[in-house]
Amino acid sequence: MFVSRLADQLVKQGAMGEAEAASLVNEFKGRATARIDDILIDEGIIDRETMLKALQGVFGLPPFDVRGHFFNHQLLLLFPKDFLLNKGIIPLDVDEDMITVVMSNPEDEQGLEEFGNYVAYTVNVYAGIQRDIVDAIEEYYDEDIVTYETHEQTEDIDETGQEDSDIIDLP
């Protein structure tokens, strides 16, 4: 059970006492645990860095903090937004024949298999915080890329439809 493994890691790190960990496990018995990271961080029980280290211990994978990372729009657009959101996965980088991704649940074999249907790369996985992954996906898919590109291309066009980049205004 994920919550037990997470609680054990938090105890090992000294971020939580054994009694507190047992209480956490009891509270989440039979409940969906997808948002346990949010609860622990929002309640101030642990910080993001501690959560990332705990995820590293739980999954045996390097952690990656996606907050503030500049993701490649073209890489994200290879995947449907709903798929990335539902699986808690975001592509990070491509290097030759390997794609690196950050996942909130790297043990989701079905998610990794489905991810492989979109690309022919070997997949390298990092562990990340669900909410941060979702926020990053939302940010990139909600930006109006077409409008942005159109605005950039039309900046130098005046009211008459003429390109004014070569026009010099004299005093």
> Cα–Cα distance between 72 and 94 in angstroms, integer?
10
pLDDT at 134 over 70: yes
Please return the burial class of 152, using the count of CB atoms within 10 Å of its CB with bins 0-12, 13-18 and 19+.
exposed
Cβ atoms of residues 80 and 115 within 8 Å: no
- Cβ neighbours of residue 112 closer than 8 Å, sequence gap 6 or more: 103, 106, 123, 125
pLDDT tens by residue, 75-114 = 998 999 999 999 999 999 999 999 999 999 999 999 999 9
What is the reported pTM? 0.78
| CA-wise closest residue to 88 among 45, 38, 46 | 38
User: Which range is most confident: 28-32, 99-103, 149-153, 156-160?
Assistant: 99-103
Least confident of 21-35, 39-53, 113-127, 138-152: 138-152
> Cα–Cα distance between 2 and 41 in angstroms, integer?
17
Cβ atoms of residues 85 and 134 within 8 Å: yes
| CA-wise closest residue to 55 among 99, 113, 103, 124 | 103
pLDDT at position 140 is 86
Mapped onto helix, strand or coil, the DSSP state of residue 72 is coil
Instruction: State the chain's mean pLDDT as an integer.
Output: 84
For residues 43 and 34, the model is more confident at: 43
Tokens of 84: 């990335």
pLDDT category, 47, cuts 50, 70, 90? Answer: very high
pLDDT at 160 over 90: no
As a whole number of Å, the CA-based R_g of the chain is 22
pLDDT category, 39, cuts 50, 70, 90? Answer: confident
pLDDT at 159 over 60: no
For residues 119 and 156, the model is more confident at: 119
pLDDT category, 164, cuts 50, 70, 90? Answer: low
pLDDT at position 32 is 62
pLDDT at position 153 is 47
H-state helical runs in 28-144? 36-42, 48-59, 73-76, 81-87, 109-116, 130-142
pLDDT at 18 over 90: yes
